[in-house]
Amino acid sequence: MDDVVDLAVVGAGPAGSAAALRALQLRPEARVLLVDAAEFPRDKTCGDGIAAHALDLVEALGVPGVSRLGPPVPRMRLRSPGGQVVERTCARPNRVVPRTVFDAELVAAAVARGARLLRHRVRRLEVRPDRVVLDGAVAARVVVGADGANSTVRRMLGAPVAPPSATAVAVRGYAPTAVDPDTLVIEFARGSYPAYAWSFPLPGGGANVGFGVFDKRGSGSRAELVAALRALLPGHEPDPASVRGHHLPLSTTPRHHPDGRVLLAGDAAALVNPLTGEGIFDALASGVLAGRAALLGAAAGAAHRAAMRRTFGRHHAHGAVLSRLLHRPRFLDAAVLAAARRQSVFDSAVDLGLGCGTASLSSLAHVALSYATAGS
């Protein structure tokens, strides 16, 4: 097997495409292979929300015009379990783009830059001193596992299984109407585990609607999740044929970025935000880091781990602490009340939930004040 590519990326979603695009951006002559079991375009269970933070990363990868795929959605509205409401205009508008469209755009950009797309389901991985071999047929100097929540690459690396407490469960469907065509709407549920329903307006009308629970132990059946969605968003039920379920490995899962020639990115690296369930920004950012580290060969793993720690360390630490507080409905009530009172708290929450932000001392102080006020 003398034909060895520089980089093989398993999974051509946002994380995988970002890895390929970044590697080719830095080294245009590199031989990059994108391997995916699906044929693009393909559907992906997701809320379809693309934050401004994520669009920044796509533009930096040299993929212009992605914003044209969905009109701006300027506002966001959240209702807490206790009925507190905040509705504000975001510092920058987010967009809603079906993953069928968004992912295909990124794959096409990677192929146009020089990556080769191979339709294949990877089942075996062999790490040798100078290469990694996939299914005895594809050899690469470095492999990036970006193959999603049920990652084969992650499992073959011996990564720990995400515990139920660090696994969210969600259902998503498409409804003919949106709660508000200019607003991302989130309705938190009362219950033993943090959960919310959403309605995100789609280009051309309708909405992506869904319901997610931030702990597998509280998820229930698909029918129960759809019933919870119906209760929180009456009159905006999805077409039953469009309803899909999905598990999301949260970033509170134990980290696993080993040394060597195999890297993980996106859901395969368990990077879903534990406060919002958002995964697109984390997928793109980790893919960018993996694409850069992949050019280092045997030193790729150590470089990727260090880069991930620098980029995500404080963000993940803050998210982990706050995700535990979400189990206390009064805290979420106070956070929403503080965001309603102050734009700065709202902006900080958006950065933390949709990007790589952290909780500022000022924002936490306002939440604490709202907590005391709400409890008096």
Please report the DSSP string for 49-98 in residue order.
Answer: EE-HHHHHHHHHTT-TTGGGGS-EEEEEEEE-TTS-EEEEEEEEEEEE--
Give percent of the chain with pLDDT exceeding 90.
89
- Per-residue pLDDT tens digits for 44-61: 999 999 999 999 999 999
What's the chain's average pLDDT? Answer: 95
pLDDT above 80 for 373: no
Nearest to 70 by CA among 205, 217, 230: 205
Q: How does pLDDT run across 217-273, given as a tens digit for each residue?
A: 998 899 999 999 999 999 999 999 999 999 999 999 988 889 999 999 999 999 999
Average pLDDT over residues 284-307: 98
**Measured distance between the N- and C-terminal CA atoms of the chain, rounded to whole angstroms:** 72
210 within 8 A of 229, measured Cβ to Cβ: yes
C-alpha closest to that of 168 among 222, 209, 210, 216: 216
Among 1-15, 72-86, 198-212, 271-285, the least confident range: 1-15
375 token code pair? 């409890």
Query: Could you tell me if 211 and 234 are in contact, meaning their C-beta atoms sit under 8 angstroms apart?
Result: no
The predicted pLDDT at position 1 comes to 53
Q: Given the DSSP bridges, would you call strands 125-127 and 116-119 parallel, antiparallel or unpaired?
A: unpaired
**What integer is the mean pLDDT of 290-307?**
98
What class is the 4-69+99-160+252-319 domain?
alpha beta
pLDDT > 90? residue 371: no
Q: Per-residue confidence at 361, pLDDT binned at 50, 70, 90?
A: confident
Q: Is 160's pLDDT higher than 50?
A: yes
Share of residues in the chain with pLDDT > 70 (%): 99
Across 30-34, average pLDDT: 98
Structure tokens at 314: 């404080």
Please give the pLDDT value at position 376.
Answer: 46
**How far apart are alpha carbons 284 and 58 in whole angstroms?**
8
Q: Residue 207 above 90 pLDDT?
A: yes
Is pLDDT at 374 greater than 80 in this prediction?
no
Alpha carbon distance 376, 371 (integer Å)? 9
Average pLDDT over residues 157-186: 95
Least confident among 133-147, 233-247, 352-366: 352-366
Q: What tens digit of pLDDT does each residue of 323-356 get? A: 999 999 899 999 999 999 999 999 999 999 999 9
Place of tokens 């969600």: 170
* CA 112, chain centre distance (Å): 25
Provide the token pair at 49. 């929300």
pLDDT, position 67: 86
Please check the confidence at residue 7 and state whether its pLDDT lies above 80. yes
| Tokens of residue 230, six digits | 């119906």
pLDDT of res. 176: 96
> Is residue 213 predicted with pLDDT exceeding 80?
yes
Asked if residue 2 has pLDDT above 80, the reply is: no
pLDDT in tens, 172-181: 999 999 999 9
9-30: b (≥16 Cβ within 10 Å) or e: bbbbbbbbbbbbbbbbbebeeb
Instruction: Look up residue 303 and give its two tokens.
Output: 């470089």
